[in-house]
A and B are shown apart, each in its own frame.
Chain A
């Protein structure tokens, strides 16, 4: 066998097409482009929302109009034209179906290509999937099992109808509608998303999961997720994304709010694989996401993310450690290739006593990509015995990419203990040589080393996701090192 050289690898990588780049032909119910108060009202009406919700959206829209798009992130991109986007798109699939047989076979095929295959998942993986295709949930499984436990897991649009008291109480409390430009936009126009409520003392028996797909060309997707874990409960939530290849940039501005009440634990895992654009950096998804969780007493929130997609990523899953003894965790792998840009990280806000946080961030950059870690660790003046450990490691492949770290550390309490370390390196020639020497070819050796590099994070993923994540890492990276 010929030796797999660096050039070969580079070539293979550059020509590698987005594997999930297909486009389903489904007739969609779509709004004309543009955004104004009427559109916001129309979205609200379409969803049959109560008046308070419409009001809430309009307030957000009012704030958004006054806001400026942020430009502090270490990314360059052509700003989306907000008036050229259609703010609502739903597959024409009404009324709701009871079984899979009734689902459009074309849609089912899409899922199969993505490897979701609902019936198989139903049987084998014990995952309840709430599949969101272009903003409207079309299939919800395992609802029954969850119902027995009193767990509410449904599209947020339904939750607004069925559990308005919960939505009203918690929506926008963690990410206020005035929080930032994209959060305000999302608050105004969010079309759908997931809502999850775990009652007191209940351990959710299965991993809850949602797949997002951007399907219709030219529509932005504005997902809104709200997860509430009541006292003493536990839930593990998975979110995964793949999107078909498109030429124009698509905007994705989601908001995720997690609330962990006393003694509760939320584990939120994401595998993100939006279309990153082709080798020239053309096309690709803009991913501007606001994710934040609130921990009450003894609560724990753990974010795990594998980021391999999107042309531009701007995402900081954060934890507000309000209650005493609460714990925040952040595990992330961000892989960028070709012309991708990622500015991602976390914020750990320590407010309660004895709060702990751990940040493990692994960045891998290849091609012409730029990968930034931006994190904040803040210890409030009254937060006694706060503890933080942060580690950001970057792996660079080739000399046309960049790795950056922007950690902010602010301590106002003398009992705080904070450690931060960051390293940047490439795959060592000696490491490769060692593998080669033992009969492992270069490509496999690289996979091995990258896998080892990201192991700490991959280990944190639930089983079902770990497999997919590993596959994604392979797709994005194999053969990109020399």
Chain B
């Protein structure tokens, strides 16, 4: 039985487990999603959107869909993956199951809790009906798969005029209780008018076993709200991640999604922005630093539908050894979206022979009064700069690392949480294999 068949046949068992309300809307959403998935199956390289990323090596595994949580996980096990220097709300999931013991949730001014309770409690019915699976639908089959099995994840509901005092950290751990596990977290973030929230998300494998995470996040940003979302991807070499994030923005809102990809066997990021009002700003930033045989695929879409909006996209990549990077950035400017400013920049450095970059910066423009540009470069470090530093006593390795660090710095500079910034800096230094000798 291949993975697809297994997933489809497990669906019934999953729905009948008793924890789910079979009369709800969500049930019909799930049933429809599994039907769509069954029809479409996993994407192959024949799909234009998956031209450069093959899932074949992943689909060979016999993933267990509902991993058992046996191993006790204490705070000391997960501490290093949290940003401890700041106070924050934390949502910690162990093998897909919420750990109330490790987490710090709230219902005071806003709801920072879990999807499973939101799905069942009548109090949240309105929110779920209004938002759940409204932008993620009709997308690719992997999103459908997540929807079919969506039961747990972060649920963040910020009412009007609220500034969430602390950042929210969402961490998904897998303990390796099963040899091969498939996790499908589902996050829903609703940010009301004039509100502000910062969210940090991380997926981490604590063992050496194989894990595939198929995560879907939906973010709704209402009028004048500000959302900063940070994704840290620094997983083990046996972990793969398919991360799909959908953002809907109302007028004058600002949404930023920052993706830091440093590790994992295969990482695929789908990031899509949809505009529903004027004067919206969307920021997409990303940096990928890869080595060994890692593969990172960043797929972004910004769909400009209304006038006077802006989007800024900046993705940098440093690829060593036999790693592969893919960048596919699509910007659509619809006919009505006059006075749009859309900028897209993608810079890449290949360090070793054998490393590959496939870039496809794509513009589709139907409005005439717009400023749109994209730039894409592939190059090497400046030999003269390297020589300059060496002649001043900086060893070649450090000099290289410094230059690479400077190359990626534009993206790091966008981080608004200082503690997170220094953490990312450290991760970059660690991945470049060098002690920079300074902290930011």
Contacts and interface: CB of A to CB of B under 8 A. Distances in A.
A60 B363 CA distance: 36
A418 B360 contact: no
Contacts of A416: 350, 378-379
A399 B307 CA distance: 13
Contacts of B357: 409-411
Given A399-B338, A409-B360, A413-B350, A420 B375 contact: yes
B377 A419 contact: yes
A355 to B, nearest CB: 14
A414 B362 contact: no
Contacts of B362: 404-407
Contact of B373 (A72, A396, A423, A426): A423
A409 B370 CA distance: 25
A254 B156 CA distance: 59
B371 A417 contact: no
A50 B361 CA distance: 48
A417 B366 CA distance: 31
A408 B358 contact: yes
Contact of A402 (B350, B352, B358, B366): B366
B interface secondary structure, majority: strand
A210 interface: no
Contact of B378 (A394, A403, A409): A409
Nearest to A370: B366
Interface string B345-375: 0001011111111111111111111111111
A411 B374 contact: no
Nearest to A376: B360
Contacts of A401: 366, 368
A414 B352 contact: yes
B371 A414 contact: no
B378 A418 contact: yes
B419 interface: no
A397 interface: yes
A416 B377 CA distance: 10
A147 B12 CA distance: 80
A460 B47 CA distance: 38
Nearest to B345: A421
A399 B370 CA distance: 10
A54 interface: no
Given A424-B372, A424-B373, A394 B365 contact: yes
Contacts of A417: 378-380
A398 interface: yes
Given A399-B368, A403-B365, A404-B365, A381 B380 contact: no
A405 B374 contact: yes
Contacts of B355: 412, 414
A379 to B, nearest CB: 8
B359 to A, nearest CB: 4
A413 B353 contact: yes
A414 B350 contact: yes
Contacts of B359: 407-410, 420
B376 interface: yes
B292 interface: no
A400 interface: yes
A161 interface: no
A425 interface: yes
B380 A397 contact: no
Contact of B363 (A72, A403, A412): A403
Nearest to A408: B360
A222 to B, nearest CB: 29
Interface in B27-41: none
A412 B48 contact: no
B352 A409 contact: no
B335 interface: yes
Contacts of A421: 373-376
B360 A424 contact: no
Contacts of A180: none
A419 B48 CA distance: 23
A419 B374 CA distance: 11
Given A399-B335, A421-B374, A422-B374, A407 B361 contact: yes
Contact of A399 (B353, B354, B361, B367): B367
A418 to B, nearest CB: 4
A410 B356 contact: yes
Given A408-B358, A410-B357, A422-B363, A398 B352 contact: no
B350 A424 contact: no
A93 interface: no
Nearest to B332: A404
B371 A425 contact: yes
B58 to A, nearest CB: 22
A420 B363 CA distance: 13
A178 interface: no
A418 B356 CA distance: 13
B350 A409 contact: no
Nearest to A390: B376
A424 B363 contact: yes
A423 B353 CA distance: 31
A407 B354 contact: no
B361 A422 contact: yes
A400 B335 contact: yes
Contacts of A381: 353-354
B260 to A, nearest CB: 22
A415 interface: yes
Contact of B365 (A72, A379, A396, A412): A396
A424 B366 CA distance: 10
Nearest to A393: B373
Contacts of A418: 376-379
A417 B379 CA distance: 4
Interface in B411-440: none
Contact of A397 (B48, B335, B368, B370): B368
Contacts of B369: 399, 426
A212 to B, nearest CB: 32
A423 B377 contact: no
A411 B350 contact: yes
Contacts of A72: 48
Contacts of A394: 365
B361 A420 contact: yes
A102 B353 CA distance: 65
Contacts of A420: 359, 361, 374-377
A381 B376 CA distance: 20
Interface centre among B348, B351, B360, B380 (most CB of A within 10 A): B360
A400 B379 CA distance: 38
A397 B359 CA distance: 29
B368 A398 contact: yes
B105 to A, nearest CB: 45
Contacts of B373: 421-424
Contacts of B376: 407, 409, 418-421
Nearest to A481: B368
Contacts of A405: 361-363, 374
A419 to B, nearest CB: 5
Contacts of A407: 359-362, 376
Contacts of B379: 416-419
Contacts of B363: 403-405, 422, 424
Interface in B362-400: 362-380
Nearest to A418: B378
18 contacts: A396-B365, A396-B368, A397-B368, A398-B368, A401-B368, A406-B362, A407-B362, A408-B359, A409-B357, A409-B360, A409-B378, A411-B356, A413-B350, A418-B379, A421-B375, A422-B373, A422-B374, A426-B368
**Smallest CB-CB A-B distances: 4 pairs:** A396-B368, A414-B350, A418-B378, A420-B376
Given A410-B359, A426-B368, 5 more contacts: A407-B361, A409-B378, A411-B348, A418-B376, A422-B363
Interface of B: 48, 335, 338, 348, 350-380
